[in-house]
Amino acid sequence: MLKGPAARRAILFAGLCEQAYTQYKRGGNYVLAGGYKQVGVFRGTLLDSKKELYGFVLESANEFVIAFRGTDSAEDWVSDSMAGQVPFRFVRNGGKTHSGFTALYASMRQDILRTLRGLPSGKPLYITGHSLGGALATLCAVDVAVHSKFSRPRIYTFGSPRVGNDAFAAKFNRLIRVSRRIANTQDIVPSLPPRVYRSAQTRQVFQYAHVKGEVPISFRKGGIAANHALRNYFAAIRLKSPAYADALCNKNPGFCP
């Protein structure tokens, strides 16, 4: 259940995920909510395509935030369909993860870790993402917990697909204390890849498991895309703390989905 500070943080992070999309669409320009400053950006690539912006690292007086965008180009959809698995080589005994998500994360990993190395300790790190961005955030959380000073990152995702097998989920569940995986019960994406996936090409069978922290919400907007859209996640979540959401949106024009 989302309530109190967790609800307000989910509202804020949904806005940051929206701005990760805006950053990509506007060539690096986006709206920051009051109190945050950008301390890093990161780019990723697939299939030898040019590198694209996938998000940013922010700092406020009290915390750091990494925000990932979701799918917004043909290359991303190719990645989504690459549902075979590879060892999650960045973490010992990390299980296996979706090959497309992992390849994309690998292409931006050094940008992220380099930025984190330059940041002071003493503040918590939050990681957030929508859709494909939620998958990237999940991979990043495990990696960062092991390979940075931020050994206890906290994660909020929206409409994230499954990312890896049972061993990966178990590793995540041991390392990550705070996980809020917000999922619309009418959204098909959190049910993908299926729990048991058989490759049409190789006939190999892969098992997928969700990480902990499911926070179910429910809205029906009439179609697959609408039931997954970040703007509709935001509309549902803002009802958990409407006064906070109204203040956030009014004080930061263009920030909210």
Q: What average pLDDT is seen over the chain?
A: 93
For the chain, what is the HEC assignment?
CCCHHHHHHHHHHHHHHHHHHHHHHCCCCCCCCCCCEEEEEEEECCCCCCCEEEEEEEECCCCEEEEECCCCCHHHHHHHHCCCEEECCCCCCCCEEEHHHHHHHHHHHHHHHHHHHCCCCCCCEEEEEECHHHHHHHHHHHHHHHHCCCCCCEEEEECCCCCECHHHHHHHHHHCCCEEEEEECCCCHHHCCCCEEECCCCCCEEECECCCCEEEECCCCCCHHHHHCHHHHHHHHHCCCHHHHHHHHHHCCCCCC
Could you give the C-alpha distances from 161 to 30, 96, 248, in angstroms and in order?
A: 26, 15, 28
pLDDT confidence of residue 78: 46
Long-range pairs of 220-226 with CB within 8 A, sequence gap ≥ 24: 220/186, 221/186, 224/188
**Is residue 37 within 8 Å of residue 57, measured between CB atoms?**
no
Tokens of 185: 């019960």
pLDDT digits (tens, 9 = 90+) for 212-235: 999 999 999 989 889 999 999 999
Tokens of 79: 């990645």
Whether the per-residue pLDDT at 80 is higher than 60: the answer is: no
- Portion of the chain with pLDDT greater than 90, in percent: 84
pLDDT digits (tens, 9 = 90+) for 45-55: 977 778 999 99
For domain 4-251, the question of CATH label 3.40.50.1820 is answered with: yes
Instruction: Give domain limits for the chain.
Output: 4-251
pLDDT confidence of residue 76: 52
pLDDT confidence of residue 228: 93
Whether the per-residue pLDDT at 128 is higher than 60: the answer is: yes
Single-letter residue type at 95: G
Backbone angles phi, psi at 24, to 5 degrees: -65, -45
As a whole number of angstroms, the distance between CA 116 and CA 203 comes to 40
> How far from each other are the two terminal CA atoms of the chain, in whole angstroms?
22
Whether the per-residue pLDDT at 40 is higher than 50: the answer is: yes
Mean pLDDT of 152-171: 98
As a whole number of angstroms, the distance between CA 146 and CA 154 comes to 13
pLDDT confidence of residue 75: 47
As a whole number of angstroms, the distance between CA 185 and CA 216 comes to 6
Close Cβ partners of 52 (under 8 Å, ≥ 6 residues apart): 24, 43, 44, 45, 73, 75
Whether the per-residue pLDDT at 72 is higher than 70: the answer is: no
pLDDT confidence of residue 81: 59
pLDDT confidence of residue 236: 98
Higher per-residue pLDDT: 246 or 100:
246
Mean pLDDT of 137-166: 98
